[in-house]
């Protein structure tokens, strides 16, 4: 554990002892810090491709859907946990840059599916590869594949995925 986290934990223990849990507090603070570090580094990589985290998430969600890489705004909102207004803004930005296409469904002009534009395929491919390479370098520098699988299972349980289906099958 780094000295920054140790100092926060010590301060909490010393100055707020009635709410100090020697197991839970270090775990939650460390988890939060690890997420912040990994997310911050991933954002830096996305930025090199001219993408905000929300734009990256939209393009990645579309790319992992079946060809023709298309989802409705409702499906995107569910996949991203983003508000309707926030998603609309991101979709306008991506459409303006020619990275997505907004379609209309015959018979129902209210439904406007979002499709990944051909120009976005190489961009999101390179961006995802860079994000994964960077994250992998950071993670594998500190954890073994077995530790990563174990942690994935534990975090999946914590996230409510009791079956651990978020990760791959155990080695």
Please give the average per-residue pLDDT across 75-92, as a whole number.
87
Is 39 within a domain?
Answer: no
Is 32 within a domain?
Answer: no
Is 137 within a domain?
Answer: no
- Whether residue 6 is predicted with pLDDT greater than 90 in this model: the reply is yes
Please give the average per-residue pLDDT across 8-15, as a whole number.
95
CATH number at residue 98: 1.10.10.10
Summarize pLDDT for 49-67 with one digit per residue, the tens: 999 999 999 999 999 999 9
Strand partners, 12: none
Amino acid 31: pLDDT: 93
Range of the domain at 62: 52-120
Is 62 within a domain?
Answer: yes
Summarize pLDDT for 130-170 with one digit per residue, the tens: 999 999 999 999 999 999 999 999 999 998 865 545 544 44
3-state secondary structure the chain: CCHHHHHHHHHHHHHCHHHCCCCHHHHHHHHHHHHHHHHHHHHHHHHHCCCCHHHHHHHHHHHCCCCCCEECHHHHHHHHCCCHHHHHHHHHHHHHCCCEEECCECCECCCCCEEECCCHHHHHHHHHHHHHHHHHHHHHCCCCHHHHHHHHHHHHHHCCCCCCCCCCCCC
Amino acid 117: pLDDT: 97
Is 116 within a domain?
Answer: yes
Backbone angles phi, psi at 108, to 5 degrees: -150, 90
- Whether residue 15 is predicted with pLDDT greater than 80 in this model: the reply is yes
Is 16 within a domain?
Answer: no
pLDDT tier for residue 171 given thresholds of 50, 70 and 90 = very low
How many structural domains compose the chain?
Answer: 1
Rg over alpha carbons for the chain, rounded to the nearest Å, is 20
Is 17 within a domain?
Answer: no
Is 21 within a domain?
Answer: no
């Amino acid at each position: 554990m780094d000295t920054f986290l140790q100092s926060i934990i010590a301060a909490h223990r010393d100055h707020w002892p009635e709410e100090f849990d020697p197991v839970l507090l270090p775990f939650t603070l460390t988890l939060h810090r690890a997420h912040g570090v990994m997310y911050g580094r991933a954002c830096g990589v996305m930025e090199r491709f001219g993408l905000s985290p929300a734009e990256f998430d939209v393009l990645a969600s579309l790319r992992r859907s079946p060809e023709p890489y298309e989802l409705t705004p409702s499906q995107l909102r569910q996949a991203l946990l983003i508000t309707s207004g926030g998603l609309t803004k991101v979709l306008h930005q991506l459409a303006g840059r020619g990275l997505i296409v907004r379609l209309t469904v015959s018979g129902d002009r209210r439904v406007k599916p979002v499709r990944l534009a051909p120009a976005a395929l190489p961009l999101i491919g390179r961006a995802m590869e860079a994000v994964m390479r960077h994250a992998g370098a950071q993670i594998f520098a500190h954890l073994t594949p077995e530790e990563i699988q174990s942690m994935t299972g534990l975090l999946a349980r914590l996230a409510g995925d009791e079956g651990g289906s978020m990760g791959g099958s155990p080695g």
